């Protein structure tokens, strides 16, 4: 039996370990440094480094690394051993405060989107003491921020930390206005991210070049059975999967990840893990670790974990629901409808601020979840649409309407809602969460952003949410600070805000065709692809937003624009090349082999006078042959559009070319190959089928 409380966090240099291992004045100093966000002094750093190293070595660590999150969206680490030479050919294990606090990895091979060209190649990593160090693979990992010589963020963590500061600063002003700031030092943005994934057999995975190179199947006729029976969702977990989940949980718990819920998802071979929420910074680190451990643990179990947003055509892709809220460091959730009129007025203000923020920055929210892989999901009637809207539920919408129009609220007692006077009627939580088609749903005491793809880092979307909401809170605080009649001014503010932004509230079915029309009438954006969304990084409205709150400067935004586009077309380029490779090296031979066999039968039958144009082999041969010709024709078309793209240089031009010409050529090629798959016997087909892949794990 696993003793969970005992193993939980056992590989983490957490608060309890620090308290235990650091001299008490050093511990206190470190805590106050973390709280105030000041730089660590060298002497203190030395003391901490020493204690960290002793702890890590006792746990078998031989190396340390600054663990960071470059703009690839993955994590990076470069290991250094603790060894330091001594006289007599001996070594000691050594780790200095300087090594803890700052690193200088060569930044030149990480994407920088032009920042490096403008400045110099060096990048620096700096310890983020708000996220605990931990041990992974006998290596002490120190969570760090990664930035350029001139201080530009080269990573995903730095802007996220800045956005957390921004939203905390503005939220504190609001709490003060309502007199709810007593004892509160900070407001945290929290996130719980539900992670979906597929598990397939590793041997089969290794036989599919498309899965190996791109993480998704680029070919594959549908299996006779998909998800239509709804029999997988919450179904009994198969023994092999259960063994994987148990092992994963233990690995995650050791690292202090609060892995809580596990279940089967809608598609065959699809599953989900949800942790308990944490501050956005730590939740981001933990989600990265979760994805890494999912892959590694699967491999140990003879499985492969697919984190791609759309590994299989025809069944659901995988997402990552981002449950987001704001809470004080004293534990008060600011999206929890309160028990007193004043708490409720404050709740409504935070709610309305979020509504405005999401409406004003729809473009950035959409962009923050955009990737080549996620383009397959958004708008494909299996995930929220590419149109950003907010689901509030009937109850809350009715309350807001009553305030907006000064009407009676139609609950059982026909109460008139007046801010600062009424206690809100209780919102039944289960009715707030029914609508699964909304990209941004209020679910009782938090918002759930459902548009993220499963492979995404959650840093980007939360940076945007925090900053956009910070901006509106700032505007509201400017208006309300010093108000002589808070209730009245607040009512006016809420009315005005709803007047201007009610268009973003939509409680209907987001998958419905009619919503696209309706959203258009409302003037909401519908950015279908990453290419449509990318310019949001560099428009003036968003430059101003991020500049004003010190989250991204202009250069940092420009670099993210370049990297987003570059990653997009490079992903597609790899996919297209993989398709070409699979056709030329695999499908061509299989198709020729089968045609050869069929012609043989035709010839033999002719010899004995049994041949007819209507005989099976003749009909089949004709059909296969026709599709084979079409396959080659379409293959050449794809090659041509790739070589045209090869002559282009500018990112946006390239991205458009891939979207408008390469993707359609890929789709056409796939269509004909999938058709051939249905014609050719399984044992002659070179790669495992959808049926094999989706139903292989028992």
Q: Which residues bind ligand ADP (CB under 6 A)?
A: 190-192, 194, 274-277, 323-325, 333, 433, 443, 445-446
**Which of ligand ADP, Mg ion, none binds 542 (CB below 5-8 Å, type-dependent)?**
none
Exposed e or buried b per residue across 159-190, where buried means at least 16 C-beta atoms within 10 angstroms of its C-beta: bbbbbbbbbbbbbbbbbebbebbeebebbbbb
Query: From CA 212, how far away is CA 688, in angstroms rounded?
Result: 13
Shortest separation between residue 353's beta carbon and Mg ion, angstroms: 23
C-beta of 97 vs 384, nearer to ligand ADP: 384
- Residues forming beta bridges with residue 140, ordered by sequence position: 64, 135
Work out the number of other CB atoms within 10 angstroms of the CB of residue 119.
17
- How many whole angstroms from its chain centre is CA 341? 37
Stretch that binds Mg ion, among 97-105, 318-326, 486-494, 588-596 (CB under 5 A): 318-326
Stretch of residues binding Mg ion (CB under 5 A), selected from 147-155, 321-329, 380-388, 574-582: 321-329
User: Residue count at the site for Mg ion (CB under 5 A)?
Assistant: 1
Q: How far is the CB of 196 from ligand ADP (least distance, A)?
A: 11
Nearer to Mg ion, 62 or 507 (CB): 507
Nearer to Mg ion, 128 or 196 (CB): 196
Q: Which of 142-150, 320-328, 565-573, 682-690 is the region at the interface with Mg ion (rule: CB under 5 A)?
A: 320-328
Q: What is the C-alpha to C-alpha distance for residues 334 and 347, in angstroms, rounded to an integer?
A: 6
SS (H, E, C) 345-404: HHHHHHHHHHHHHHHHCHHHHHHHCCCCCHHHCCCCCCCCCCECCEECCHHHHHHHHHHH
Strand partners, 305: 199
Q: How far is the CB of 412 from Mg ion (least distance, A)?
A: 29
For ligand ADP, give the closer residue by CB, 230 or 650: 230
- Least distance from C-beta 651 to ligand ADP, angstroms? 35
Candidate ranges 9-17, 92-100, 314-322, 638-646; the one touching Mg ion (CB under 5 A):
314-322
**Does position 560 bind Mg ion by CB under 5 A?**
no
Q: d(Cα 68, Cα 143) in Å, to the nearest integer? A: 6
The least CB distance from residue 237 to ligand ADP, in Å, is 17
What is the gyration radius of the CA atoms in the chain, in angstroms? 28
Complex with ligand ADP: residue 56 or 458, whichever CB lies closer:
458
Query: CB of 274: closest distance to ligand ADP in angstroms?
Result: 4
Compare residues 257 and 635 and give the one whose CB is closer to ligand ADP: 257
Q: 190 or 281: whose CB is closer to ligand ADP? A: 190
Judged by beta carbon, residue 156 or residue 321, the one nearer Mg ion is 321
Q: Is 366 in the site for Mg ion (CB under 5 A)?
A: no
Cβ burial 586-605 (10 Å sphere, 16+ → b, else e): bbbebbeebbeebeebbeee
Spatial CB neighbours of 331, under 8 Å, sequence gap ≥ 6: none
State the minimum distance, in angstroms, from the CB of residue 324 to ligand ADP.
6
φ, ψ of residue 112 to 5 degrees: the values are -130, -5
Using rule CB under 5 A, residue 66 touches Mg ion: no
As measured in angstroms, the least distance from the Cβ of 387 to ligand ADP is 21
Residue nearest ligand ADP (C-beta atom)? 192
Asked whether position 321 contacts Mg ion by CB under 5 A, the answer is yes
Q: How far is the CB of 315 from ligand ADP (least distance, A)?
A: 20
Contacts (CB under 5 A) with Mg ion, residues 18-37: none
- List own/partner pairs for 601-609 with CB under 8 A and 24 or more apart: none
φ, ψ for residue 418 (rounded to 5)? -130, 125
- Phi-psi bin for 14: left (phi > 0), alpha (psi -120 to 50), beta? beta
Q: Which does 446 bind (CB under 5 to 8 A by kind): Mg ion, ligand ADP, none?
A: ligand ADP
**Contact set with Mg ion (CB under 5 A):** 321
């Amino acid at each position: 039996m696993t003793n969970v409380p005992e193993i939980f966090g056992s590989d983490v240099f957490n608060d309890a370990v620090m308290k235990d291992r650091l001299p008490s004045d050093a511990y206190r100093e470190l805590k106050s440094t973390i709280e105030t966000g000041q730089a660590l002094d060298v002497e203190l750093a030395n003391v901490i480094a020493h204690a960290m190293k002793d702890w890590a070595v006792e746990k078998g660590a031989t190396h340390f690394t600054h663990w960071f999150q470059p703009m690839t969206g993955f994590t990076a680490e470069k290991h250094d051993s603790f060894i330091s030479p001594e006289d007599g050919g001996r070594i000691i294990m050594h780790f200095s405060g300087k090594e803890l606090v700052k690193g200088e990895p060569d930044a030149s091979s990480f994407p920088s989107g032009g920042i490096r060209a403008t400045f110099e190649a060096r990048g620096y990593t700096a310890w983020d003491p708000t996220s605990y160090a931990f041990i992974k693979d006998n290596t002490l990992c120190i969570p760090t921020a990664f930035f350029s010589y001139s201080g530009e963020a080269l990573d995903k963590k730095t802007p996220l930390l800045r956005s957390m500061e921004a939203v905390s600063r503005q939220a504190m002003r609001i709490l003060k206005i309502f007199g709810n700031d007593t004892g509160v030092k900070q407001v945290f943005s929290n996130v719980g991210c539900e992670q979906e994934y597929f598990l397939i057999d590793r041997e089969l995975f290794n036989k599919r070049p498309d899965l190996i190179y791109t993480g998704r199947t680029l070919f594959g006729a549908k299996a006779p059975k998909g998800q239509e029976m709804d029999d997988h969702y919450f179904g009994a977990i198969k023994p092999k999967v259960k063994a994987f989940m148990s092992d994963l949980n233990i690995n995650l718990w050791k690292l202090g990840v609060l892995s809580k819920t596990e279940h089967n998802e809608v598609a065959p071979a699809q599953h989900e893990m949800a942790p308990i929420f944490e501050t956005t910074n730590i939740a981001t680190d933990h989600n990265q670790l979760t994805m890494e451990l999912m892959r590694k643990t699967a491999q140990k179990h003879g499985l492969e974990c697919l984190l791609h947003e759309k590994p299989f055509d025809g069944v659901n892709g995988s997402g990552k629901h981002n449950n987001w809220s704001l809470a004080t460091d004293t534990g008060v959730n600011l999206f929890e409808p309160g028990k007193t009129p004043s708490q409720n007025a404050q709740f409504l203000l935070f709610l309305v601020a979020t509504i405005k923020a999401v409406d004003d920055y729809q473009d950035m929210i959409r962009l923050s979840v955009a990737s080549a892989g996620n383009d397959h999901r958004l708008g494909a009637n299996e995930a929220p649409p590419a149109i950003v809207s907010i689901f509030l539920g009937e109850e809350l919408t009715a309350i807001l309407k009553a305030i907006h129009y000064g009407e009676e609220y139609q609950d059982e007692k026909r109460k008139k809602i007046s801010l600062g006077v009424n206690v809100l009627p209780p919102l039944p939580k289960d009715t707030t969460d029914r609508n699964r088609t909304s990209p941004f749903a209020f679910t009782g005491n938090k918002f759930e952003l459902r548009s993220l793809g499963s492979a995404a880092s959650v840093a980007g979307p939360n940076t945007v949410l925090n900053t956009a909401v910070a901006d509106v809170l700032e505007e509201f605080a400017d208006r309300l600070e010093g108000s002589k009649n808070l209730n009245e001014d607040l009512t006016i503010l809420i009315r005005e805000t709803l007047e201007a932004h009610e268009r973003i509230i939509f409680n209907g079915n987001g998958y419905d065709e009619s919503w696209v029309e309706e959203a258009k009438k409302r003037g909401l954006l519908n950015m279908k692809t990453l290419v449509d969304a990318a310019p949001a990084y560099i428009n003036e409205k968003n430059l101003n937003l991020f500049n004003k709150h010190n989250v991204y400067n202009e250069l940092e935004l420009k670099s993210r624009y370049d990297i987003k586009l570059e990653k997009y077309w490079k992903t597609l380029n790899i996919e297209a090349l993989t398709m070409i490779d699979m056709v030329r090296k695999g499908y061509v031979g299989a198709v020729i082999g089968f045609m050869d066999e069929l012609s043989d039968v035709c010839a033999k039958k002719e010899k004995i006078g049994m041949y007819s144009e209507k005989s099976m082999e003749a009909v089949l041969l004709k059909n296969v042959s026709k599709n084979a010709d079409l396959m080659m024709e379409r293959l050449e078309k794809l090659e041509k559009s790739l070589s045209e793209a090869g002559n282009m240089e500018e990112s946006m031009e390239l991205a458009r070319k891939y979207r408008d010409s390469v993707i359609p050529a890929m789709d056409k090629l796939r269509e004909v190959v999938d058709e051939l798959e249905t014609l050719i016997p399984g044992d002659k087909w070179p790669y495992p089928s959808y049926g094999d892949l989706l139903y292989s794990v028992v």
